């Protein structure tokens, strides 16, 4: 992460124009405004009247076609109030205090099983363990049968890792272990990964995720009682709204923890003094989780589109310009966080923006914190002598959007 460059830009050009060159097979774009200071990032995120999630969706790269943009706009993530508020209420139904309490009990049990299972081994790739917990939790919430959980992994890999050759065509689910519903969905998986004009198929398009949406509709025919899929049916969502809501849970609800857990543990282990402090003071666990999220933001940035001509930090932004807020820079803003490049598990308050801000503040933030705390607490307390495996360096996910690790080998 270019933290030194972010620091320079916050001081000299906190809102600056960035070109979009072609990257591999992906075409060049028109450029965008990068927003780097904490206060400006929060201003953009809380001002949908000026900076819309809906106009161009929330990825830097523009959707390839009008149809792709129309499809993306049906997703809650890519809407503005009041439409966003209507869909958010459906999601919020899965995260009531009572539901979260029940989930927390189940998550604690799962975290205990995971750590107990690896304890005799003495060494493991923590990414595989970290990936299990959010996928297991999402399967529970969605009502996805255990046999089909690996499909969630593949769908998430293909979306969040489309720039990474190890993940872009992920197909790790064993058809022989899937339910009939899972095997039927695989028949819809696209085999042609290019659009009619020869460009790579947009990984977030309806065509690229046809197998996931086929599965979602099949699951909705007989949804497990109490599952979020059952609630979505009862809410009367349109077919496309249902698809994009399933996408939001199945992918967006997975990626934050898949990145935050390995990144958080890695940050802790390379700061031995902070690891020791936390291992001796479990009362700091909540503060430590916030600091790990600040220090290793799972998502690097999000896009908005200017709805009209506006001024921001002295820059004139025109209607239709892309405006991209950098969480990774805002979380290191020295005007908000003393010694921002130092990990400090005692840091409080901690006004990081890793879960966003304003109307789009992550509705699953509390659930993510529960999972992160449950697993890291058990790893720190139950794997004595925990350290990085020095002979196997961490391996980063190739992505300009996700701050992720593909491998993190640890020993104890």
| Domains of the chain, residue spans | 3-411
Are the beta carbons of 352 and 54 closer than 8 angstroms? no
pLDDT at residue 94, as a whole number: 78
pLDDT at residue 288, as a whole number: 97
The pTM of the full predicted model, rounded to 2 decimals, is 0.93
pLDDT at residue 43, as a whole number: 98
Are the beta carbons of 377 and 285 closer than 8 angstroms? yes
Are the beta carbons of 320 and 306 closer than 8 angstroms? yes
Local mean pLDDT, 10-residue blocks, the chain (412 residues): 95 97 84 98 98 95 89 92 88 84 95 97 95 94 94 91 86 94 94 72 85 95 89 86 90 85 96 94 94 96 98 97 98 98 97 96 92 95 94 92 94 96
- pLDDT tens, position by position, 375-404: 999 999 999 999 999 899 999 999 989 999
Which residues lie across from 125 on neighbouring strands?
A: 409
Distance of alpha carbon 358 from alpha carbon 364, whole angstroms: 14
pLDDT at residue 164, as a whole number: 87
Are the beta carbons of 334 and 340 closer than 8 angstroms? yes
- pLDDT tens, position by position, 204-219: 888 889 999 999 999 9
Q: Does domain 3-411 have CATH number 3.40.50.261?
A: no
- pLDDT tens, position by position, 321-352: 999 999 999 999 999 999 999 999 999 999 99
- Is there a cis peptide before residue 349, judged by omega within 30 degrees of 0? yes
């Amino acid at each position: 992460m270019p933290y030194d460059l972010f620091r320079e830009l916050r001081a000299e050009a906190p809102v600056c124009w960035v070109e979009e060159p072609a990257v591999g097979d992906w075409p060049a774009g028109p450029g965008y405004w990068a927003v780097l200071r904490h206060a400006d990032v929060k201003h953009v995120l809380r001002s949908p009247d000026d900076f819309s999630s809906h106009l161009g969706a929330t990825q830097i790269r523009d959707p390839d076609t009008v149809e792709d943009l129309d499809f993306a706009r049906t997703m809650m993530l890519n809407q503005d109030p009041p439409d966003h508020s209507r869909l958010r209420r459906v999601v919020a139904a899965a995260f009531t205090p009572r539901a979260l309490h029940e989930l927390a009990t189940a998550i604690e049990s799962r975290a205990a099983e995971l750590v107990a299972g690896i304890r005799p081994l003495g060494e493991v790739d923590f990414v595989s363990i970290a990936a299990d917990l959010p996928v297991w939790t999402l399967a529970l919430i969605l009502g996805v049968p255990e046999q089909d959980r690996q499909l969630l992994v593949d769908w998430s890999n293909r979306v969040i890792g489309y720039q990474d050759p190890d993940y872009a065509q992920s197909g790790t689910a064993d058809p022989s272990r899937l339910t009939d519903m899972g095997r039927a969905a695989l028949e819809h998986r696209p085999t042609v990964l290019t659009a009619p004009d020869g460009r790579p198929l947009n990984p977030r398009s309806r065509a690229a995720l046809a197998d996931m949406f086929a599965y979602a509709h099949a699951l909705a025919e007989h949804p497990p009682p109490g599952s979020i899929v059952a609630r979505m049916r009862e809410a009367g969502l349109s077919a496309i709204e249902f698809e994009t809501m399933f996408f939001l849970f199945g992918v967006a609800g997975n990626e934050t923890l898949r990145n935050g857990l390995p990144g958080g543990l890695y940050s802790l282990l390379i700061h031995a003094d902070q690891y020791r402090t936390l291992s001796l003071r479990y009362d700091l666990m909540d503060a430590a989780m916030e600091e790990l999220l600040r220090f290793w933001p799972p998502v690097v940035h999000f896009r908005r589109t200017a709805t009209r001509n506006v001024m921001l930090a002295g820059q004139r932004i025109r209607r239709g310009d892309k405006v991209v807020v950098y969480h990774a820079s805002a979380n290191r803003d020295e005007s908000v966080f003393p010694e921002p490049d130092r990990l400090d598990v005692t840091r409080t308050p901690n006004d990081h923006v890793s879960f966003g801000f304003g109307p789009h503040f992550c509705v699953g933030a509390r659930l993510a914190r529960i999972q992160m705390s449950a697993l890291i607490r058990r790893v720190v307390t139950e794997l004595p002598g925990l350290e990085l495996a020095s002979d196997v360096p961490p391996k980063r996910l190739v992505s300009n959007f996700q701050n992720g690790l593909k491998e993190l080998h640890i020993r104890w």
